[in-house]
């Protein structure tokens, strides 16, 4: 089986790991015997600095291409311009590696549907996975809604990473035609490691530092819960537009020695930080899925999450605590409760659960079954 995986870009620390979910899925498929070519289409505007043009990256088990051009947003002709550059890169990849059996498009609302309609007419099966949080809000521009609607009505299979996202796609496009839920995978860097004895209890938060992730609420809640307790700290991994504001907030609260901003880390570095921590906190008020949660579970750590997570059906008391989004008082009480009851959580069982539900074997089995079905 030969598959093109289409993502937002090739992830690096410099671009804040842009395209990491898609790239990791391509790696997973390649490890499970699929011939894979990864194609990243980074059409973000100029305010995202990077080198423009076509980039080629040869991996041990698959090849990756990236077309990076600042062509969004355009005042008019957006779809035609994107179609031109998509055709250019797709033709290059096809010339070098041949026509694929399946094209698996990630974030279909963001990607031009016309090029994929052309390949479908040539006999290539089109599978798409929607992850985008903007779809969850049900507020899409005409261009993005047009793209999403084509995939919902005409793709051979449309997947969503959570049930709430699936409901939003159905509401926006007016069809539930062959729409399935397949969650994100756990990166293999995230593994259970026995906790070494230490004096400091560490909460960790991981994600893009943007307003919707509510790291400001996390910081306030932590400060109010543990201001006088020097044996508890909060580590925050990630970068984004709120970094400076969060840094100022920490300084104003007098918590520089207890709350640490680590910036962007690689997957391996993030995994090590989680393994050294005792619990993960997610205060987000909008989540299509909640990947840091399953990564923490993979490492055997309990979590505090909000009711905005995309997979609440998996949550139970043995895995952590759920609070109402944007509710600082509930977050304070949850942090205190988890700290007081930290010994009741079984790290090995938490990790085992995570891999049974979100590990490579489970997700690859689902995807390969879907590919086989559409090819039949």
* 3-class SS string, 319-374: CEEEECCCCHHHHHHHHHHHHHCHHHCCHHHHHHHHHHHHCHHHHHHHHHHHHHHH
Q: Residue 5 in contact with residue 106, Cβ under 8 Å?
A: yes
pLDDT in tens, 32-56: 999 999 999 999 998 888 889 999 9
Question: How far, in whole angstroms, is CA 13 from its chain's centroid?
Answer: 15
CATH assignment of 2-185+359-375? 3.40.50.2000
Return all residues near 361 (Cβ < 8 A) that are at least 6 apart.
355
Q: What is the pLDDT of residue 267?
A: 86
Q: Is the dihedral of CA 15, 17, 21, 24 positive or negative?
A: positive
How far is 105 from 279, CA to CA, in rounded Å?
A: 34
Closest among 159, 184, 180 to 289, alpha carbons compared: 184
How far is 361 from 188, CA to CA, in rounded Å?
A: 11
Helix (H) or strand (E) holding 234: strand 232-237
Q: Which residues make beta-bridge pairs with 320? A: 303
What 8-state DSSP symbol labels residue 202?
Answer: E
Q: Residue 187 in contact with residue 23, Cβ under 8 Å?
A: no
What 8-state DSSP symbol labels residue 278?
Answer: S
Of 67-76, 159-168, 251-260, give the lowest mean pLDDT range. 67-76
372 pLDDT tier (thresholds 50, 70, 90): very high
How far is 30 from 197, CA to CA, in rounded Å?
A: 38
Domain ranges of the chain: 2-185+359-375, 201-357
Say if residue 147 is preceded by a cis peptide, omega within 30 of 0.
Answer: no
| Residue 185 three-state SS | coil
pLDDT in tens, 180-197: 999 999 988 999 998 878
pLDDT in tens, 85-106: 999 999 999 999 999 999 999 9
- Dihedral pair phi/psi, residue 145, rounded to 5°: -65, -35
Fold equal for 2-185+359-375 and 201-357: yes
Of 13-22, 147-156, 196-205, 278-287, give the lowest mean pLDDT range. 13-22
Q: What is the pLDDT of residue 343?
A: 92
How far is 149 from 140, CA to CA, in rounded Å?
A: 11
Give the burial string for 223-236 (b: 16+ CB within 10 Å, else e). bebbeeeeebbbbb
pLDDT in tens, 226-284: 998 999 999 999 999 999 999 999 999 999 999 999 998 988 999 999 999 999 999 99
Helices (H), the chain: 20-31, 78-97, 113-121, 133-137, 142-154, 163-173, 215-226, 243-252, 267-276, 291-298, 328-340, 347-358, 360-375
Question: How far, in whole angstroms, is CA 127 from its chain's centroid?
Answer: 18
Return all residues near 343 (Cβ < 8 A) that are at least 6 apart.
none
pLDDT in tens, 56-69: 999 889 999 999 99
Mean predicted confidence (pLDDT) in 323-342: 97
Instruction: State the CB neighbour count (10 A cutoff) for residue 265.
Output: 17
- Please give the CATH architecture assigned to the domain spanning 201-357: 3-Layer(aba) Sandwich (3.40)
């Amino acid at each position: 089986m030969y598959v093109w995986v289409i993502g937002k870009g090739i992830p690096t620390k410099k671009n804040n790991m842009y395209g990491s979910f898609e790239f990791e899925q391509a790696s997973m498929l390649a490890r499970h015997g699929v011939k894979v070519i990864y194609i990243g289409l980074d059409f973000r505007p100029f305010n995202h600095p990077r080198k423009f043009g076509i980039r080629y990256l040869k991996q041990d088990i698959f090849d990756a291409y990236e077309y990076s051009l600042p062509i969004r947003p355009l005042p008019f002709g957006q779809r035609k311009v994107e179609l031109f550059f998509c055709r250019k890169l797709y033709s290059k990849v096809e010339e070098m590696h041949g026509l694929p059996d399946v094209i698996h498009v990630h974030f279909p609302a963001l990607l031009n549907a016309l090029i994929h309609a052309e390949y479908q007419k040539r006999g290539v099966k089109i599978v798409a996975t929607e992850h985008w949080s903007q779809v969850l809000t049900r507020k899409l521009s005409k261009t993005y809604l047009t793209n999403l609607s084509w995939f919902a009505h005409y793709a051979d299979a449309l997947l969503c990473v959570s049930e709430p996202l699936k409901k939003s796609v159905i509401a926006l496009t007016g069809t539930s035609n062959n729409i399935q839920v397949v969650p994100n995978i756990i990166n293999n860097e995230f593994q259970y490691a026995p906790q070494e004895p230490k004096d400091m209890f560490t909460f960790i938060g991981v994600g893009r530092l943007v307003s919707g992730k509510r790291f400001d609420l996390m910081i306030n809640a932590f400060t109010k819960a543990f201001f006088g307790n020097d044996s508890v700290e909060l580590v925050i991994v990630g970068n984004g537009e709120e970094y400076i504001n969060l840094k100022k907030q920490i300084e104003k609260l007098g918590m520089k020695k207890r709350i640490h901003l680590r910036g962007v880390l690689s997957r391996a570095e993030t995994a090590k930080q989680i393994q050294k921590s005792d619990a993960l906190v997610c205060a987000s008020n909008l989540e299509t899925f909640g990947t840091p949660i399953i990564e923490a579970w993979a490492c055997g750590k309990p979590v505090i999450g909000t009711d905005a997570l995309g997979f609440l059906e998996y949550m139970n008391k043995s895995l952590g605590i759920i609070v109402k989004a944007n509710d600082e008082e509930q977050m304070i009480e949850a942090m205190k409760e988890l700290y007081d009851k930290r010994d009741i959580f079984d790290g090995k069982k938490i990790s085992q659960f995570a891999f049974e539900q979100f590990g490579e074997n489970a997700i690859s089995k689902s995807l390969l079954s879907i590919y086989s079905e559409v090819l039949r």
